[in-house]
Chains A and B, each alone.
Chain A
């Protein structure tokens, strides 16, 4: 991993954030013919409309509006919420931390389930276990989050009363209760991710098992256990880093629905509230923070990948 590659990757990340910020701003503020009207609705009085237009600077050319917004965002100032009249930035970042807790837990649970299942499916290719695992994977990717979430809530919270259906308790305040409240959302996210990671893990393991060095290890007379765990798994696990990073993008989208259903005050729910109450600064901040999180995670994953697999030479 050369320094030049490192620098180039960082520049790509910055470029991504800039493009995303332009898009978010364009869609939310420039695209509507009159953003003030669409924010306040049909019944707004002309004075209020005029006041909002001045506040948002809607009279200025688009690039000037964007420049002003971007300059503030760059210094961490996302504006004042039109709903709560509080600064948007701190509120969104606090929400993001709760979402990240959910996301990281889900990824850990996913890895713990999906990696062994994928390997087992690959080792038993074509047999009943493999078919079963593939079927579950299919079901996992074919159910939208809101369906999985609702069905799980119906089963685990409503019928069997194992877990609380909605709400959020910070694990820092009450660890046990916090985990119990997190369990359903984490399970929902994991179910979908497991399907995805498991499929990849299966095909990666199959590929690696066909390679020459595995054949050599077998011919050498190594026990199957050593071949699988010490030789095959190491290489088969590598792409999982990339897949998890790509899934973070999916995760951030899915989190909007899941937080809405389970009433978790994370960034997804904050964004939904902002959209339904037409709180422009919050929409812009929420969308930008989500996309930036994705860009950063992806960059980190790329770097981790290059670090873990020295064979890879990007140039």
Chain B
């Protein structure tokens, strides 16, 4: 574990990614305590105040401090994207390993169905689910998790197919172990590496998807300082205060980049042979 971390930190991309992630984690944990102002504090004299010493990143249409809103908003964006990815990955991984374990025609049928489900673009799937379940951050998380599961199933299954033919799995079958034991105790631990890599990269998609749903008005609801919502708000005032638009956009992009970098870094660290 420590060795992996060192190898991850040695590459510039891994290092930058880890540093960014640490900053984001700090914002999620201590954001409200560190923020210079309360995120909902309205200051009518400071409407559309440009970035400066009073508001480092400027102020929005109500004079609310954008930096403070970003720092507090990290909590209502990143952890939710994380949860959605985790739930989606867990479900997808279980389906994938299960499919590889069953093998043969069952596996074929499951995978063709997964392929079919993936014909529905992720955003469309999420929109359909949210429109049925009702708007809100919680339902957006469920929708993203469901939208992610098929992709994870496919990735996991291709890794699990190799494991399926290993002697220890055959031995477990010969011992007469049940399917749940073989799937969760024998096969799943041995396909964790690709699952972790894929999930890390997917968190960045989840952050973007979640922000997009909020932007479209079906995810987090006002007055939450969710980043996608902040962009949607600032769009009407982009003449007077372009910083209101740029700051949350940059926050989303940096978060997505951080998870992408760490995911790619992990891939390199776990497969030292591949030099790409």
A19 cross-chain contacts in B, Cβ below 8 A: 113, 116-117, 119
Q: Give CA–CA (A233, B181) in the complex, Å.
A: 48
Tell which of B129, B216, B246 touches A257, judged by Cβ atoms closer than 8 Å.
B216
Q: Mark B116-157, 1 if CB is under 8 A from A, else 0.
A: 111111111001110110000000000000000000000000
The yes or no answer to B23 lying at the interface (CB within 8 A) is no
A295 touches B119 (CB 8 A): yes
The yes or no answer to A294 lying at the interface (CB within 8 A) is yes
Tell which of B112, B127, B132 touches A271, judged by Cβ atoms closer than 8 Å.
B127
B120 cross-chain contacts in A, Cβ below 8 A: 20, 23-24, 287, 290-291, 294
A147 touches B231 (CB 8 A): yes
Q: Give CA–CA (A16, B261) in the complex, Å.
A: 34
Q: Give CA–CA (A147, B257) in the complex, Å.
A: 14
Measuring CB to CB, which residues of chain A are less than 8 angstroms from any residue of chain B? Answer: 12, 15-20, 23-24, 27-28, 31-32, 38, 138-139, 141-147, 150-151, 153-154, 158, 203, 206, 249-250, 252-254, 256-257, 260, 271-272, 275-276, 278, 283, 287, 290-292, 294-295, 298
A-B contact pairs, 21 of them (CB 8 A): A19-B117, A138-B257, A143-B249, A146-B212, A147-B231, A150-B235, A150-B238, A151-B249, A153-B238, A206-B276, A249-B118, A249-B119, A253-B121, A253-B124, A257-B123, A275-B127, A287-B124, A290-B121, A294-B119, A294-B121, A295-B116
Q: Which 8 A-B pairs have the closest CB atoms?
A: A253-B121, A253-B123, A19-B116, A142-B256, A144-B208, A16-B116, A142-B257, A147-B249
The yes or no answer to B89 lying at the interface (CB within 8 A) is no
B115 touches A16 (CB 8 A): yes
* CB of A196 to closest CB in B, whole Å: 12
Interface residues of B, CB < 8 Å — how many? 43
A260 touches B216 (CB 8 A): yes
A141 cross-chain contacts in B, Cβ below 8 A: 256, 260
Measuring CB to CB, which residues of chain B are less than 8 angstroms from any residue of chain A? Answer: 112-113, 115-124, 127-129, 131-132, 204, 208-209, 211-212, 215-218, 228, 231-232, 235, 238-239, 242, 245-246, 249, 252-253, 256-257, 260-261, 276
A154 touches B238 (CB 8 A): yes
* CB of B260 to closest CB in A, whole Å: 6
B249 touches A142 (CB 8 A): no
B121 touches A138 (CB 8 A): no
B257 cross-chain contacts in A, Cβ below 8 A: 138-139, 142
* CB of B264 to closest CB in A, whole Å: 9
A257-B245 in contact given A19-B116, A158-B239, A294-B121 (Cβ < 8 Å): no
Q: Give CA–CA (A292, B204) in the complex, Å.
A: 27
Q: Give CA–CA (A265, B239) in the complex, Å.
A: 25
Tell which of A32, A146, A249, A260 touches B132, judged by Cβ atoms closer than 8 Å.
A32
A15 cross-chain contacts in B, Cβ below 8 A: 112, 116
Tell which of A16, A38, A138, A253 touches B260, judged by Cβ atoms closer than 8 Å.
A138
B260 cross-chain contacts in A, Cβ below 8 A: 138, 141-142
Chain A residue with minimal CB distance to B207? A144
A143-B216 in contact given A15-B116, A19-B116 (Cβ < 8 Å): no
A150-B249 in contact given A158-B239, A256-B127 (Cβ < 8 Å): yes
* CB of A154 to closest CB in B, whole Å: 5
Q: Give CA–CA (A45, B52) in the complex, Å.
A: 55
A31 cross-chain contacts in B, Cβ below 8 A: 132
User: Besides the contacts A147-B253, A150-B245, A151-B245, what 6 more A-B pairs have beta carbons closer than 8 Å?
Assistant: A19-B119, A20-B119, A138-B260, A147-B231, A290-B120, A294-B119
Chain A residue with minimal CB distance to B127? A275
* CB of B117 to closest CB in A, whole Å: 6
B217 cross-chain contacts in A, Cβ below 8 A: 276
